[in-house]
Structure 1
Amino acid sequence: MSAATLPTPTDQEPHAVCVPFPTQGHITPMLKLAKILHARGFRVTFVNTEYNHRRLVRSRGAAAVAGLTAFRFATIPDGLPESDADATQDPATISYATKHNCPPHLRSLLAGLDGVTCVVADNLMSFSVDAAREMGVPCALFWTASACGYMGYRNFRLLIDRGIIPFKDEEQLTNGFMDTPVDWAPGMSKHIRLKDFPTFLRTTDPNDVLMSFQLQEVERSEYASAVVINTFDELEQPALDAMRAIIPAVYTIGPLASVTEQEAPPRSVVYVNFGSITVMSGQELAEFASGLESSGHDFLWIVRPDVVKGDTSSAAALPPGFLEATKGRGLLASWCDQEAVLRHEAVGLFLTHSGWNSTLESLGAGVPMLCWPFFAEQQTNCRYKCVEWGVAMEVGDDVRREAVEARIREAMGGDKGKEMARRAAEWKEAATGSAARSLANLDRLINDVLLSPALKMASMMDGPDQSLAMLSDG
């Protein structure tokens, strides 16, 4: 393992300012990357919104970097009303707020920091590129989701140009229109359908906040000094090739999660976790519970207090007698160390919302998946896992206990499940083998971009000179 070459003229450590998008699924991988940079000799300033830093402190998340010298947290306001709620903020609201309220606060923060060498920002915080340019330092954008999800968003522009989105009317969501094949989209699987694109295209409003925000942010990635992505080449080569055709420098550094055991013994436990944002109706939660109960398998189910929409608590939505019926083989908890759980030899299946962090952690641990995607590029990840990578099955949009039971039984013991387990083991081996290359890519990123303030500044000033439409034409 080669260490990155650090500056020699002075003894001062390089200083990276890390700026995550303010939701848990983005903060977690950025914190991992920040710790890796710190281990490579960087001072790190990790910038949360004030709201999310309060949540981090309450959850003791800051303990993840306890004892690390030259690793500090800083905060900026998001411009939203003060709140001490311990819940994920509304995606559309926080997207709009960060884009319009955070830029001047980040510029002010950067101006007050000592010796900033580079900025590493979430791709959804692309205003950081402008702030870094004003300081004369490079800015790498970190895309925390999948490469196929990225290309899904980039293709929004072509879908708009072809008059496919925004939708003409809401009936298109239910009349079969969503099953339309989209086999012409650059960088995407030939098996992709309209329903498999990130969900933010499902609107009749041409000015929809989330559709517009995601499209603008991915298009602005071309202005960055580099784009860093938590994936590995063997997993997403076509999507990565398409990204590299339109972005000056793309560095794959995944999976960020460490991978341990090489051989997976017989696995009998179903692990269930729908992430930090997914919400469902009380009826849907009850259907999942009944399916788990009747499957006969042991399970660990992480149930957030706010997972059920409305005023109904998660506990109240559970079927009568569920806890008694599953006593001794089922465990409900509000939180766990997911990476440790997935690496445990007892876990044989992951019922997941298909967020990218969860997907990579499961692939890295060699655990096949059942998918119930909620929103954004989770639908895209789901389709790739089921069709392209062969490690998953879908539960289906309309949750029914019979389907949940049948899918669990098939995944844990049927022929399809055995094939999924075999493919998952292969992807685990590939992920493990990618570690050395990812470290080499990380060192190239540090040497070629983060520690080279003058490098690529001209291209940052000029902006993008290629477009996805050119890929489509060619």
Structure 2
Amino acid sequence: MEKDRSSHVLFFPVPTQGHMNPMIKLAELLALTGFRITYLNTHHNHERLIKFTNIAAHYERYPGFEFKTITDGLPPDHPRSGHWFMEMYEEATEMKIKQGLREMLVNISPPVDCMIVDAFLGFALDVAGELGIPIVCFRTSSPCCFWTSYSIPAMIQAGELPIEDMDRLITTVPGMETIRKKLDDRGEKCIFIGYDERSKAYRLYNPLTKKLIILRDVEFDEAEYWIWSSEEKKIEGLFFNENQDDDDFINQDEQGDDQGPQQNLIEPSSSRNNIETENPEVQPTEVRRSTRERRVPESYCRAADMEDTFIKLVVNRTLKSVQANALILNTAEELEGPILSQIRTQCPNVYAIGPINALLKSRVDAKHGESYHHFSNTLLEENKSCISWLDKQPNRSVTYACFGSITSMSREQLIELWYGLVNSKSKFLLVVRPNSVIGKDGEEEDVVKELFDKAKDQGYIVDWAPQEAVLNHPAVGSFLTHSGWNSTLEGVVAGVPMICWPYFADQQVNSRVVSEVWKIGLEMKDVCDRKILEKMVKEVMVDRKEEFAKSAAEMAKLADQSVSVGGSSYSNLDRLIEDIKEMSLKTPQKVIVS
């Protein structure tokens, strides 16, 4: 290959919104350096990009940036909503895509010097190996999810999967100790004297703190040398002095008719603790486990069958991705250093170059000396009227609620969500994506219109929003999110506190990082009803508003430092650029096909 020819890089994403967004931003970052870029879309997605964006005009500023299309292996009239992308991984469908990719690489001119492909497209590694093309895998989900996925075989071997007890400690995922320690450090080991398992709730008065303790789903662990009466039990756990909320605990209102013993606690003869009687006026403090298996992605931990198709796919593609020349992750050393260190034990050449949306803005601003315009590579039509509505709202007064491009919900869930927002008294901007509400034909449109009419003075509902522009609007004070990794990072960059309602895949892990490690939001976990949501919105927007705003601003500062000159992501991108140039020198000028 002639040294004066620009390196030619082919990008190939999984054809869903969440996978395409960071991939095309990375393509633009490399185009800024003068690389020749071929961005490979499916026919269906490229038509949607042309329909809903000015994508051609935006990328024509980069000489050598070209879009090409390939089949997704499905008929043109096949539905492509929800979890349709799983059909791509069926053997016959995948074979069609693989064949199309190979034909393109053989015939493309100039030849491709390096491929950057989504880590879930494992067949691309086979094609690259056959044709002698260097390949880099881009894992668009969170590094924590990547590492837990990589660790699934070890967890199965250790008997920790499938998970039966959601409160049991996972011990076989090195690097996750920082998440566990965040909880452990807030607790003090203690022993409470209680009664036997006759109630789902246990209310105990602690004379040292003058607080009422509430426990649920505790395990009873007796020491052999303790002498108990038939009604007495020892309850062991962590006592948290902080009065923090968790939907795993039962409060007095929830206990209802299932009344267990609540009166005096009898001191056994072997105990030297002086336990006082319960004080009915004491406000309850909650006791919770130090860690929970929620940090393992929901789709994996709750599956009863470890032969589940999705689990096998995730594990297979995760393990295969480390066979590539390198691995790209959308994060920063400043944000997730410990996890990155663990990943590098299995894949030494890791480029942490995130948050990619912020890194692109930083590079464009530096190159052109102007503020980067938020260009949206959306597959849905954006309703930008919400920006005008936000312009009329006070600073940090609006809760923005959006649940991504795949999440669906029932009509009942939508109504609970709406009531929670309305009852919080906070202004809100709610996104209800077309065809995202499960119900009868036409029912979604009717219920959305009805909800909009009922709260038009307090809220605004759109079917899709320009999310980065919304999050960076001064009127937005919190982000109610499904905790997809792109949305999470966009919230971090914008410095907006989050209320996390995770749905599937890496979202449970992401929400735990947001709430327990970064401390820039709250985690709703499994249940979203109007009371819980109302309480959480009030906590983020009123009760702890300044606390969360300060934490979110600090995280935004770290993210900004990482993408600025001298920052880790800025430097890692430079290293990636130089390594691609080096790969290009070693790539054959012509692919020989036998």
Q: TM-score range by the shorter chain?
A: 0.7 to 0.9
- Are 2:38 and 2:68, in contact at CA under 8 Å, matched by a contact in 1? yes
Return the letter of the residue paired with 2:519.
Answer: G
Q: Which runs of 5 or more structure 1 residues have no equivalent in the other structure?
A: 1-6, 458-474
- Aligned partners of 1:336 and 1:184: how far apart in 2? 40
Return the letter of the residue paired with 1:112.
Answer: N
| Higher mean C-alpha deviation, range 230-239 or range 203-212 | 203-212
Q: 1:218 to 1:450 in 2, by over 3 A?
A: farther
| Counterpart pick for 1:246 among 323, 337, 346 | 346
SS at match of 1:223: coil
Post-superposition Cα deviations, 1:329-384, rounded to whole Å, max 9, x if no partner, equal 31111122211111111111000000000000100110010011010010000111
SS at match of 1:354: coil
Q: 1:218 to 1:160 in 2, by over 3 A?
A: same
Post-superposition Cα deviations, 1:283-334, rounded to whole Å, max 9, x if no partner, equal 00110111111211111111101111243543334495x3233223311111
Post-superposition Cα deviations, 1:267-295, rounded to whole Å, max 9, x if no partner, equal 11111110000111110011011111121
Report what 1:80 is aligned to. 74
| Counterpart pick for 2:476 among 347, 350, 355 | 347
**2:31 maps to 1:38:** yes
Q: 1:450 to 1:126 in 2, by over 3 A?
A: farther
Post-superposition Cα deviations, 1:171-193, rounded to whole Å, max 9, x if no partner, equal x4xxxx12222144122245253
Report what 2:19 is aligned to. 26
| Counterpart pick for 2:327 among 209, 223, 227 | 227
**2:197 maps to 1:204:** no
- Aligned partners of 2:168 and 2:77: how far apart in 1? 43
| Counterpart pick for 2:445 among 307, 315, 318 | 315
- Are 1:151 and 1:188, in contact at CA under 8 Å, matched by a contact in 2? no
SS at match of 1:133: helix
Report what 1:431 is aligned to. 559
| Counterpart pick for 1:195 among 276, 283, 294 | 294
Post-superposition Cα deviations, 1:41-61, rounded to whole Å, max 9, x if no partner, equal 111111122232233233236
Alignment of 1:383-402 (within 5 A): 383-402=512-531
**2:315 maps to 1:186:** no
| Higher mean C-alpha deviation, range 40-49 or range 88-97 | 88-97
Report what 1:448 is aligned to. 579
- How far the C-alpha of 1:10 sits from its partner, in A, is 4.5
Number of aligned residue pairs: 437
Report what 1:102 is aligned to. 97
- Aligned partners of 1:308 and 1:159: how far apart in 2? 35
- Aligned partners of 1:86 and 1:452: how far apart in 2? 36
Q: 1:309 to 1:324 in 2, by over 3 A?
A: closer
- Aligned partners of 1:88 and 1:450: how far apart in 2? 39
Q: 1:247 to 1:418 in 2, by over 3 A?
A: same
- Are 1:95 and 1:210, in contact at CA under 8 Å, matched by a contact in 2? no
* Length-normalised TM-score, structure 1: 0.86
| Higher mean C-alpha deviation, range 98-107 or range 355-364 | 98-107
| Counterpart pick for 2:396 among 259, 267, 288 | 267
| Counterpart pick for 1:381 among 510, 534, 541 | 510
Post-superposition Cα deviations, 1:412-466, rounded to whole Å, max 9, x if no partner, equal 0113x43222111001000000013322211211212454247799xxxxxxxxx
- How far the C-alpha of 1:215 sits from its partner, in A, is 0.5
Report what 1:124 is aligned to. 120
SS at match of 1:178: coil
Return the letter of the residue paired with 2:318.
Answer: V
- Are 1:140 and 1:450, in contact at CA under 8 Å, matched by a contact in 2? no
- Aligned partners of 1:74 and 1:200: how far apart in 2? 33
Q: 1:219 to 1:248 in 2, by over 3 A?
A: same
Q: 1:395 to 1:283 in 2, by over 3 A?
A: same
Q: Percent identity?
A: 38
| Higher mean C-alpha deviation, range 85-94 or range 327-336 | 85-94
- Are 1:295 and 1:409, in contact at CA under 8 Å, matched by a contact in 2? yes
SS at match of 1:78: coil
Q: Which runs of 5 or more structure 2 residues have no equivalent in the other structure?
A: 181-290, 363-370, 372-393, 589-594
- Are 1:348 and 1:368, in contact at CA under 8 Å, matched by a contact in 2? yes
- Are 1:293 and 1:325, in contact at CA under 8 Å, matched by a contact in 2? no
SS at match of 1:124: coil
Return the letter of the residue paired with 2:97.
Answer: C
Report what 2:150 is aligned to. 154
* Length-normalised TM-score, structure 2: 0.69
Report what 2:186 is aligned to. none
- Are 1:51 and 1:84, in contact at CA under 8 Å, matched by a contact in 2? no
Q: 1:229 to 1:184 in 2, by over 3 A?
A: same
- Aligned partners of 1:50 and 1:310: how far apart in 2? 30
Post-superposition Cα deviations, 1:11-36, rounded to whole Å, max 9, x if no partner, equal 42211100001211000110100111
- Are 2:520 and 2:551, in contact at CA under 8 Å, matched by a contact in 1? yes
- Are 2:327 and 2:351, in contact at CA under 8 Å, matched by a contact in 1? yes
SS at match of 2:39: strand
Return the letter of the residue paired with 2:572.
Answer: N
Return the letter of the residue paired with 1:445.
Answer: L
- Are 1:92 and 1:209, in contact at CA under 8 Å, matched by a contact in 2? no
- Are 2:82 and 2:408, in contact at CA under 8 Å, matched by a contact in 1? no
- Are 2:422 and 2:458, in contact at CA under 8 Å, matched by a contact in 1? no
Q: 1:162 to 1:450 in 2, by over 3 A?
A: farther
Return the letter of the residue paired with 1:119.
Answer: M
Higher helix share: 1
Report what 1:418 is aligned to. 546
- Aligned partners of 1:318 and 1:297: how far apart in 2? 19
Alignment of 1:29-68 (within 5 A): 29-60=22-53, 62-63=55-56, 64-68=58-62
Structure index of larger Rg: 2
- How far the C-alpha of 1:88 sits from its partner, in A, is 4.3
